[in-house]
Structure 1
Amino acid sequence: MTRDLLGRHRAVLPEWLALYYENPLEITHGEGRHVWDAAGNKYLDFFGGILTTMTAHALPEVAKAVSEQAGRIIHSSTLYLNRPMVELAERIAHVSGIPDARVFFTTSGTEANDTALLLATAYRRSNTILAMRNSYHGRSFSSVGITGNSGWSPTSLSPLQTLYVHGGVRTRGPYAHLDDRDFVAACVDDLRDLLGHTRAPAALIAEPIQGVGGFTSPPDGLYAAFREVLRERDVLWIADEVQTGWGRTGEHFWGWQAHAHNGPPDIVTFAKGIGNGMSVGGVVARAEIMNCLDANSISTFGGTQITMAAALANLNYALEHDLQGNARRVGGLLLERLRAVAAQVPHVREVRGRGLMLGIELTRPGTDEAAPEAAATVLEEARAGGLLIGKGGGHNTSALRVAPPMSLTVAEAEEGAAILERALRSI
């Protein structure tokens, strides 16, 4: 049945639509932190639909909210008042940390970043954007144009002039040998030099932890230091929280808060986890930026009632059950467990991350060369052992991505770590 479905997939869908595994997997249902495939095999899910199943599969509170809303009305567009959208916007504005915040809902993180770029360029009257090397911001024409990871940027054409800044990857590049303080200082000097050779950009967009890039991150405080320089030229700061938001990093509710001593970003984008599988994304910005557009605009599907009801129930659950605290506690245990395993596996160059957002970088033993074949082996062996994980990486690296639902238990973390240990030892 799955082989037949694979043939049908290949007959009607693009070749560049990637599938994991030599024998691709059809997931038919899930519950909690587990999913099942069409053959009835059960898996512990450590990737959550690319960090999207934030709380749990088939969470009763979200399922109930969706069912009840579907029984009333599913959709009406933004041309009409929408109570669930207003209620969710109020909650997000409150937790955003941005003063006088306004919220605009989209259907994805790509569309959220696209909107943020529109706002920033219109507000600053500039089409120059600063982005981080090794970054990923989506698959639209504008967002691939600011993506610094070449493996996910299929065209050099772009409506924007993009300049790439150093600092998103701590352990590679010309400053990797420096300690954290000197690393930040060198990156700030690089930014100042870059700004001295260009017209004032509209904004810097940055992921606090680079998702597709392999869960890499700079030292805490880098973006705060960048912001001091950016403010000198009125350049906006956009935090791409599509993967890092809602407490996933454990220590903070937003990834930008690790860089927060001089205030929140001007614009925050979000998606993925907030909908727990429903198509929800959005942008938060202070009113003067959000209201800068001088043309009409609506969204047909952004903020539709059924997705807003799901997201509101999901956010309430995450806050009421302190999933941020759980990500910190269980993620910390998982990180130490994986580091202990990695110390005995020559292919592992680094285990990194925060909370339930962990990366394992694989290289050929004794070198810094990427080992994509090793990553593929671990992915397959983990699946055979009953565990689903992800892949990523930039700088020609191979990284495994571990990002379970934030309700992960200690027992499940231990179970997943044991499977991953066997998979890593297989290479």
Structure 2
Amino acid sequence: MTHTVAPPPEHPASAGPVRLLSGWARTHQPTDWAAHSATYGPPPIPRRTRGQGDERLIGLVDQAGLRGRGGAAFPTARKLAEVRSGRGRAVVLANGCEGDPGSNKDHALLTLAPHLVIDGILLAAHAVGAGETMLCVHRGDPLVHSLRAAIAQRPNEPLLPTVVEVPARYVSSADTALVNFLTNGTAKPTQKSPRPSQRGVRGRPTLVDNVETLAHIALIARYGPEWFRTCGTATSPGSTLITVGGAVRLPGVYEIELGVPLGHPLRLAGGPARPLQAVLIGGMGGRWLPMPAAHELPLTEEDCRAAGGRMGIAAITALPAGACGLHTTARALRYLAEESAGQCGPCMFGLPAIADDMTDLATGDAAPEDLARLRRRLGVIPGRGACAHPDAAVSLAATALDVFADDLHAHLSGDPCPPGSAFPLALPRHRPDASHP
């Protein structure tokens, strides 16, 4: 039986929708099982034959137009249907391994609304006919204890997830890395076929979805696709959580309507603390965009691609004027090189090489021929790696050369920025007070 509840309240027009974080918005406290039950009731799972799957729920998700919130923006209903039609008893993996140092949205959601995520896990398991569910977070994250406590609060429901601790590495957050870790103990990503939805954990069809995606499924199951589409755009409906960091007055995690201009989450974060020269969108493997030109860019995957980038991980880092974009990018590239899985040439040799080249450009130790060499390297790495990690690093480097072209010219002319002009792109990790302003 479906539990009838009122939809979550909306924020004032200046702030936008609050759906995923509605419980926190009312009480400013993480939502425990009692508060969650009073607000939402049990997950609306109809009684069906065990393992049969639920085409109706997949249809609702399809009508809602939900796309993955983990960075790839893949249509969620398509993935659910593919797992449901696979051979063997399916597995559901909720991906809460937030590997990017510039993102805190999944950590905020799992801290403030864990039961909404658990509801989504149970509903997705029912939709695909799964026999096992897991919730993956990084090893050593305090969330391990709070999530196990949240699961223990719930009644003895079938298919409650097991919390799995995954190595705390950047690349461990990839869906194929999670599948490999749970199958053979090695958290290394791959781009090889078949996809996890076809052959995943221990050879079984596996749904790997970001925890925010699963929380949206829990809301769609209760309120319907029409409600879900009352915010967002026709092709990018709904709301999303976004991390806003860098040179803003109130860095934190905010819920926004998809399609709002990039300047909107900056305003929610109190506005720039200093004049801005650029923003990094999509995390460490994202793209630089110049300011103020990017201020009106609509935050949808389609609009970001049209602007030469992609929304990717919903994270924005504001770079202030006076900081050196080349120094900042060189540090990020060094981090990405060190965080690679080390399983292919483009990562083992290509990423350290482009990090070295960018460092030489940042410190003024490069000549025009060194810039030409870097551009050649950026042209041959994409598409050659064992996973998408080197491609993301190349995109970051390539956009830096374009957006910070004036700095690049000055550095090559013997006028580099001082060494201390790099700007930190990472957020403080696992701090409860960093979850939301």
TM-score (norm 1): 0.26
TM-score (norm 2): 0.25
* Structure holding more helix per residue: 2
* Structure holding more strand per residue: 1
